Amino acid sequence: LNQMEKAVEAAHTFFMANPEHMEMQQNIENYRTMAGVDVFQLVDREAKPHMESYSAGIKYYEADDFEAAIKYFEQALREYFNEDMECRILCEGPQRFEEYEYLGYKAGLYEAIADHYMQVLVCQHECVRELATRPGRLSPIENFLPLHYDYLQFAYYRVGEYVKALECAKAYLLCHPDDEDVLDNVDYYESLLDDTVDPTSIEAREDLAMFVKRHKLEAELLKSAAEGLGFSYTEPNYWIRENTITKRTSVQTSARREEGKKKSREGGKKVKQTQILIVHIKTLRSIIQSKKITKCGPLLYDNITFVYNSEQLNGTQRVLLDNVLSEEQCRELHSVASGIMLVGDGYRGKTSPHTPNEKFEGATVLKALKFGYEGRVPLKSARLFYDISEKARKIVESYFMLNSTLYFSYTHLVCRTALSGQQDRRNDLSHPIHADNCLLDPEANECWKEPPAYTFRDYSALLYMNDDFEGGEFIFTEMDAKTVTASIKPKCGRMISFSSGGENPHGVKAVTKGQRCAVALWFTLDPLYRE
């Protein structure tokens, strides 16, 4: 209908819920070009107001505009509690008999009434998860509601509102009473108060205090009802906080260091500087633990050359090695590839699954061995594909010092060939930026560990076979899918390996001439998902 603005809105809304869908991203650009307009306002028609305000708060917080951050976080909380009220009201009404056969349900009157209201209560209790989940997603944002108060406590501190900072810090502790960093903050904020203010008179924020009190009472009711009515109920952990603390403490302690220097220049008390130093040590420990920084294990084979570790590759759980294959093995593998690869293998026969400017071909170990036993390729060469895959698996398992067996999840010999006549003015990638076990969401700076991602993958490796092509560099990026942190030029025998999560977004630059071939390997620690 030539309504480009609405087309862009619809495409953007879909893309926000499906960030791995690169074709939709391309559609958005096409609509803009067709309309002759560089910038449409990107509108997510499914966006929740409290989520939008929360995202704006984070943006201003990270830009050190704490006044604006406070405004948006407070607005997000007001919207959140309004949405919570609406969510709970929508739970009132007929419920589903999911756990029993409806026609065989023979409860007495009082049992039926109690059962109905317990189903309503379960629905209302789940509003915490519902409001923390972006449209189109299955997984909620970790620690979502408490994070508002975590950001606010530090933002208020930075603008000198120590009473409000203390209220927010105490509110956060209602959900995480053992958080050492915030406990230290409480002590620190109390030390900054005027002598006329009694620290013990300052309570946690009433909005969250009432919310948590109700939440705990509901949980007790549900557990009691589950025992009395005989239905199963397990209280979920609604305040999971695996990936959020390091970011907050690292930002926070950096600002504290500035505060500490200022106090020192003004002749402040050394006690406070000691407190700040203690927090630095705790933060460093938490960063080390969160990034799983460990000593590297042996490479097992004498001829392999170590090139770069995680630190030198500006990331986490990364390693670059050379001479994993000999020149002769590279040539033999390349020869096997030409005899067994199919166009679009692994991608339902799609000739160009990642970019229209390249042809993609692939083959599995099983296919290579079958062709070998049938005499269609030399069996020795087919066996080499299997053997070098096993060699790579042993190296990864040893180098990362894994405590349990690493299994193959999927192994794929892949080649990408630049299509002639389609390389002028290319601005796409050979393989878009992605993570191997989660759905990368550059807009939200998140990686969602949920289907259709291969959530069981734990480690990945790429073993290169040649370098007689142009382009095709392997790149790591930040979660924004734009900021390149490391770039690796493939060559025979070179192997890059890394953990498969959102800490390692990666992709492949455009192959602009020739053919680039590699063995792609994905590993799992879960034997249920071994290849």
Calpha distance 363→154 (Å, rounded): 53
Calpha distance 341→427 (Å, rounded): 27
For residue 436, the tally of other CB atoms under 10 A from its CB is 24
- Selected catalytic residue, list 45, 134, 516, 530: 516
Residue with tokens 């692994």: 346
Instruction: Say if residue 452 is preceded by a cis peptide, omega within 30 of 0.
Output: yes
For residue 377, the tally of other CB atoms under 10 A from its CB is 22
* Helix (H) or strand (E) segment spanning residue 370: helix 365-373
Calpha distance 107→103 (Å, rounded): 11
DSSP three-state, residue 168: helix
Give yes or no for a contact between 321 and 495, defined as CB atoms under 8 angstroms apart.
Answer: yes
For residue 460, the tally of other CB atoms under 10 A from its CB is 23
* Helix (H) or strand (E) segment spanning residue 394: helix 379-399
DSSP characters over 378-389: -HHHHHHHHHHH
Calpha distance 250→248 (Å, rounded): 6
Calpha distance 493→495 (Å, rounded): 6
Catalytic residue flag (residue 425): no
Structure tokens at 269: 């008390």
DSSP state of 6: H
Q: What is the maximum alpha-carbon separation in the chain?
A: 90
Structure tokens at 179: 């958080």
* Helix (H) or strand (E) segment spanning residue 156: helix 144-158
Q: What is the dihedral of CA 145, 146, 147, 148, to 10 degrees?
A: 70
Calpha distance 216→235 (Å, rounded): 10
DSSP three-state, residue 398: helix
For residue 220, the tally of other CB atoms under 10 A from its CB is 10
Closest residue by Cα to residue 525 from 355, 403, 360, 348 = 403
Structure tokens at 102: 């409806």
From residue 155, alpha-carbon distances to 57, 67, 245, 503 in Å are 10, 8, 16, 27
**SS in 3 state form for 220-244?**
HHHHHHHHHHCCCCCCCCCCCCCCC
Which amino acids are annotated catalytic?
516
